């Protein structure tokens, strides 16, 4: 007789290749009669759906990723900066340069130009990472700072923040004591109690007058006097007897003369600003050539440079003295007018004139030396038979004609030449002067 064992349920064991992380959640029953705790297991998939690798995590939304499509799916390459966009960064503006990057299917759909395609394009372009607006504002602000180069920093020197006049070494002991006393009185007045507030009562009309403002005016006046004393000693400290070793011995007996007209009013200062244009020395101005130019119509421009015309009239005054370059305007001269001017200058000067043969336009002709700018009344006194009837007349001397004409575009009144044209004209004038000097030397020898 054989014994047959009872059948038991056997469970098949299997291995799951794609194991998931198990997160257990405990749920307590709400029944008060049962004390048992029921446990419920909940599975949460944290990794990619493909399950190709456990370290591949796909976060929700667009996030910066450096995998270069080695872990996530490839979307496309940015055609602007060349960045490789993966599925984690998603379709939309490139996170590096802002160029739109979409997949091939999305690009084909956008190229159809339908309403749905336009909506998709607008949706993709509106995707911006958090902090995009703040970053753009910061970028624009920094670029504006760099463009304007504005000073936005300040150095705070603690030593120069507070200055006590009673401790300066440039004052005598009596002056330091006086300033220290005034400083103590000022501090005591500022920190005094309200009990000591001065009030004036009038028994006649029963009014009370606050004297605080009178005391404040008094102390303000005292402080201004102290500042004046301090400024005077600062200014005159170099005249003290302690530094007389640098003074020349022959100046020891010199005494300053008091001039009442030189007394300055309270709070006024001397204006020590000077201007280079105020130099009126004739010899100095003849040596200086700052490139000032005057445009004139033909044939007067060529006649002035040739030395035939010596006075040039204008409706405006100029303070310019010295070398003045003459340029011809673009207006073509009239032959009849040229002959009339030749006849007038021949009659006035009495000699045969070596008038110019050509009258070019829109070019630099030469230069003259402006010695004076006279009003019409003063001009008639110095030159009774003068040719000009303008309100102001330029007296010109030493005309110099350029052997080479430089093309130039004129401007109104007196203006500065282009630095390159000015330098070329000066070099040409110097070469012409050397050639004339050599010819004169050869003819004399």
Q: Considering the chain, what is the average pLDDT of its residues? A: 74
Confidence band, pLDDT 50/70/90 cuts, at residue 138: very high
Closest listed residue to residue 229, CA positions, set 181, 191, 188, 262: 181
Residue 326 above 50 pLDDT? Answer: yes
**Closest listed residue to residue 69, CA positions, set 48, 52, 86, 89:** 86
Say if strands 322-328 and 292-296 run parallel, antiparallel, or are unpaired: parallel
Q: What is the mean pLDDT of residues 374-383?
A: 89
Lowest mean pLDDT across 112-121, 177-186, 228-237, 241-250: 241-250
Residue for token pair 């040739």 = 306
Using 50, 70 and 90 to split pLDDT, how confident is the model at 25? very low
Cβ count near 383 (within 10 Å): 15
Q: Look up the pTM and report it.
A: 0.38
Structural domains in the chain plus CATH codes: 74-125 (no CATH), 288-444 (2.30.130.30)
Give per-residue pLDDT as tens, 299-317: 888 888 988 888 999 988 8
Rg of the chain taking only CA atoms, in angstroms: 48
Mean pLDDT of 160-179: 69
Do residues 211 and 189 touch, judged by C-beta distance below 8 A? no
pLDDT reading at 288 higher than 70: yes
* Tokens 């709070």, located at residue: 267
Q: Answer yes or no: is pLDDT of 23 > 50.
A: no
Can you say whether the dihedral through the CA atoms of 62, 68, 71, 77 is positive or negative? Answer: positive
| pLDDT for residue 11 | 47
């Amino acid at each position: 007789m054989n014994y047959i064992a009872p059948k038991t349920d056997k469970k098949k064991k299997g291995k799951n290749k794609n194991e998931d992380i198990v997160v257990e959640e405990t749920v307590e029953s709400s029944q008060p009669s049962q004390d048992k705790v029921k446990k419920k297991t909940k599975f949460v998939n944290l990794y990619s759906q493909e399950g190709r690798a456990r370290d591949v995590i796909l976060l929700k939304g667009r996030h910066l990723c450096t995998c270069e499509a080695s872990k996530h799916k490839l979307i496309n390459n940015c055609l602007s900066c060349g960045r490789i966009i993966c599925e984690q960064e998603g379709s939309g503006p490139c996170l590096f340069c802002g160029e739109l990057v979409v997949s091939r299917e999305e690009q084909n759909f956008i190229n159809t130009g339908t309403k749905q395609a336009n909506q998709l394009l607008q949706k993709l372009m509106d995707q911006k990472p958090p902090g995009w607006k703040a970053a753009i504002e910061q970028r624009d602000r920094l670029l504006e700072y760099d463009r304007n180069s504005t000073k936005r920093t300040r150095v705070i020197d603690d030593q120069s923040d507070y200055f006590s006049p009673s401790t300066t070494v440039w004052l005598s002991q009596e002056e330091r004591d006086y300033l220290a006393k005034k400083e103590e009185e000022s501090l005591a007045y500022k920190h005094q109690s309200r009990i000591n507030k001065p009030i004036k009562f009038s028994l006649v009309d029963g009014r009370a007058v606050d004297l605080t403002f009178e005391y404040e005016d008094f102390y303000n006046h005292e402080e201004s006097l102290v500042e004046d004393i301090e400024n005077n000693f600062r200014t005159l400290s170099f005249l003290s007897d302690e530094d007389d070793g640098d003074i020349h011995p022959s100046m020891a007996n010199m005494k300053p003369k008091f001039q009442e007209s030189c007394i300055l009013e309270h709070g006024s200062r001397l204006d020590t600003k000077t201007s280079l244009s105020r130099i009126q020395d004739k010899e100095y101005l003849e040596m200086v050539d700052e490139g000032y130019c005057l445009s004139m119509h033909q044939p007067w421009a060529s006649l002035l440079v040739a030395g035939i015309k010596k006075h040039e009239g204008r409706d405006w005054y100029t303070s310019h003295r010295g070398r003045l370059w003459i340029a011809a305007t673009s207006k073509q001269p009239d032959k009849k007018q040229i002959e009339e001017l030749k006849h007038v200058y021949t009659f006035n000067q009495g000699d045969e004139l070596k008038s110019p043969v050509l009258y070019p336009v829109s070019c630099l002709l030469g230069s003259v030396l402006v010695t004076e700018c006279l009003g019409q009344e003063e001009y008639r006194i110095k030159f009774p038979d003068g040719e000009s009837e303008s309100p102001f007349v330029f007296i010109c001397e030493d005309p110099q004609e350029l052997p080479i004409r430089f093309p130039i575009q004129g401007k109104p009144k007196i203006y500065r030449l282009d630095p390159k044209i000015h330098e070329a004209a000066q070099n040409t004038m110097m070469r012409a002067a050397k050639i004339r000097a050599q010819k004169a030397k050869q003819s004399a020898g």
